[in-house]
Amino acid sequence: MTRSFEKVGVVGLGTMGAGIAEVFARAGLAVVGVEADPDALERGRGHLEASTGRAVAKGRLSEAEQAEILGRVTLTTSLEDLADADLVVEAIPEVMDFKRSLFTDLDRICKPSAVLATNTSSLSVTGIAATTTRPGQVVGMHFFNPAPIMKLVEVIHTVVTEDGLADEIAALARRLGKTPVSVGDRAGFVVNRLLLTYLNHAAVLLENGLATRDGIDAAMRLGVGLPMGPFALLDLIGLDTSYEVMCVLFQESRDRRHAPAPILRELVTAGLLGRKSGGGFYDGDEPASSRADGKPSVSSVAVLGEGADEFAARLADAGFKPGYADDADVVVALSHTPVIELAAQLPHPSRLVGLHLVGDKVAEVASTVLTSPDATRAVEGLVRIVGRTPVLCKDRAEFVVDALLYPYLNDAVRMYDSGYAGIEDIDAAMRLGCGYPAGPFEMLDALGLETVRDGLRALYAEYRDPAFAPAPLLDQLVTAGVRSIRDLP
Ligand SMILES: NC(=O)c1ccc[n+]([C@@H]2O[C@H](COP(=O)([O-])OP(=O)(O)OC[C@H]3O[C@@H](n4cnc5c(N)ncnc54)[C@H](O)[C@@H]3O)[C@@H](O)[C@H]2O)c1
């Protein structure tokens, strides 16, 4: 049986629900929007009018079209008005008890053929479905914020979802102008599972003192081309929400990497929830922009390692004398980890600084336990002179960018290998759900499977976290000489 979805209910018209109601109305469907009480209903109406009003102001919608869209939406505080809806999408707060109680009511009120969907970000769709007498007709329809703009919808089916229903919901998402990605019911689905794990990892590295907040943010933004650094993004998502999602992920996986970073709990307890509370990782301040320091007070620089000639030539152009490792004022070791192994072989280990060039904008500046603050400052200045942003960090495996990026890519490979989601779906989810320039498998291909595998081995050797051990599939692909995971038969 192919269902027709013409009348849709949306319960909860807050941040997400109002946007979801707008999306359905824009696609020509009749929408019944339900709120908890008259005040909340007026706020919901305000969200709808403001959002469509902005589109009119930007010339993306005419006033007549706006009136038509708003005319398709009926607002009410009575769930009974959903009796003849073909589909109801729930967008009330992320609290299991609230959702279960609502679905019990919807199951009683809605016609037997109606499909019930939840917009939950992290809760078990199966657990919600189980409270109804129609678990086969309950799915997840996970929109992204802001719903009218973000193209991705994760469509979640459970083990008891009726055959074909997820496909019908995916077709509906396409009718709304969205790109659906179909997945099973695992905490966090694709986007939050991969994204929040990476953000949490960044918070752990910050706590460990690997680098500063601004350094890590700059490294990921300028070095990888992500739209925001992890701490700016955590503040935007909300630290309380992020903490809750991590708790749900951990509860399901018991994976140490999913355990929320203690700093998240501390900030949340202090009421520092991110942008919405006026403070979080950033206290209303902006990331410090790179300062144009004066010329470093060193005259001779020795450069060692891969790509040394090119870097030394740039420094020579800027007036620095090439030096030898035994007499130079500072010694720069390019891409040599751990840097300390080299330091132990030099006559002046305090002058040695590690350097890792990331893309064409960033250079990670790694100090060892023996490096003097003067040497670090000098290399920071040299990096600026060659036109890159320096990111100061400790001498740890893979420094900052790769230490964050490789485990995220590894997680994506494991996710694919577990049969949870396809390569194209995972790539599309991360591109469309996070605004990333490329999906994880596209990034893997660009970096090279072997480079990432070797980086993961180094991370595992350093931190001994099983999650950093290369996914067996990644290892096998490298051993087999396969260049791209897409080349698999
Ligand atoms: N905010 C996001 O970025 C985002 C993104 C994707 C998914 N989600 C998910 O969407 C859901 C809603 O999140 P939100 O950010 O829109 O929350 P919100 O707090 O902005 O809105 C929730 C709305 O539900 C209303 N409500 C509460 N109980 C109700 C009831 N019994 N009946 C009718 N209305 C009720 C509230 O009055 C409020 O307006 C959550 O499950 C959340 O995890 C949120």
Is the distance from CB of 103 to CB of 131 less than 8 angstroms? yes
Is the distance from CB of 305 to CB of 334 less than 8 angstroms? yes
* Confidence (pLDDT) at 288: 59
CA 136 to centroid of ligand 1, rounded, Å:
24
**DSSP notation for 91-145:** ---S-HHHHHHHHHHHHHHS-TT-EEEE--SSS-HHHHHTTSS-GGGEEEEEE-S
- Catalytic pick among 122, 192, 242, 367: 192
Handedness of CA 209, 210, 215, 217 (dihedral sign): negative
Which of ligand 1's atoms lies nearest the C-alpha of 145?
3
Whole-model pTM? 0.91
CA 94 to centroid of ligand 1, rounded, Å:
7
Task: Write the residue with the smallest CA distance to atom 2 of ligand 1.
Answer: 145
One pLDDT digit (tens) per residue for the chain, 489 residues: 688 999 999 999 998 999 999 999 999 999 999 999 999 999 999 999 999 999 999 999 999 999 999 999 999 999 999 999 999 999 999 899 999 999 999 999 999 999 999 999 989 999 999 999 999 999 999 999 899 999 999 999 999 999 999 999 999 999 999 999 999 999 999 999 999 999 999 999 999 999 999 999 999 999 999 999 999 999 999 999 899 999 999 999 999 999 999 999 999 999 999 988 889 999 876 655 555 456 788 999 999 999 899 999 999 999 999 999 899 999 999 987 799 999 989 999 999 999 999 999 999 999 999 999 999 999 999 999 999 999 999 999 999 999 999 999 999 999 999 999 999 999 999 999 999 999 999 999 999 999 999 999 999 999 999 999 999 999 999 999 999 998 887
* Confidence (pLDDT) at 294: 67
Q: For a pocket test of ligand 1, which of 16, 196, 244 has the largest count of ligand atoms closer than 8 A to its C-beta?
A: 16
Q: For a pocket test of ligand 1, which of 15, 76, 153, 195 has the largest count of ligand atoms closer than 8 A to its C-beta?
A: 15
CA 444 to centroid of ligand 1, rounded, Å:
35
Lookup: tokens for 66:
């706006």
- Catalytic pick among 121, 122, 124, 367: 121
* Confidence (pLDDT) at 489: 79
Distance in angstroms (rounded) separating the CA atoms of residues 419 and 439: 17
* Confidence (pLDDT) at 325: 86
CA 23 to centroid of ligand 1, rounded, Å:
16
CA 5 to centroid of ligand 1, rounded, Å:
23
Catalytic residue flag (residue 121): yes
CB atoms within 10 A of CB 334: 18
Q: In what order do the strands lie in the sheet with 152-156?
A: 73-76, 30-34, 7-11, 87-90, 115-118, 138-143, 152-156, 179-183
Q: For a pocket test of ligand 1, which of 11, 92, 273 has the largest count of ligand atoms closer than 8 A to its C-beta?
A: 92
At 279 the three-state DSSP class reads strand
Lookup: tokens for 356:
């890792």
CA 256 to centroid of ligand 1, rounded, Å:
29
Distance in angstroms (rounded) separating the CA atoms of residues 420 and 183: 6
Catalytic residue flag (residue 200): no
Which of ligand 1's atoms lies nearest the C-alpha of 16?
16
- Give the residue ranges of DSSP H helices in 164-283: 165-175, 191-207, 213-218, 224, 230-237, 239-253, 262-269
Which of ligand 1's atoms lies nearest the C-alpha of 14?
21
- Catalytic pick among 22, 119, 142, 242: 142
CA 291 to centroid of ligand 1, rounded, Å:
42
Distance in angstroms (rounded) separating the CA atoms of residues 148 and 7: 18
Distance in angstroms (rounded) separating the CA atoms of residues 192 and 181: 13
Phi, psi of 44 (to 5 degrees): -60, -45
* Confidence (pLDDT) at 285: 67
- 138-143 and 152-156 strand pairing: antiparallel
Which of ligand 1's atoms lies nearest the C-alpha of 241?
43
- Catalytic pick among 22, 35, 154, 380: 154
Lining ligand 1 with CB less than 6 A are: 11-17, 34-36, 40, 91-94, 98, 102, 119-121, 143-145
* Confidence (pLDDT) at 297: 84
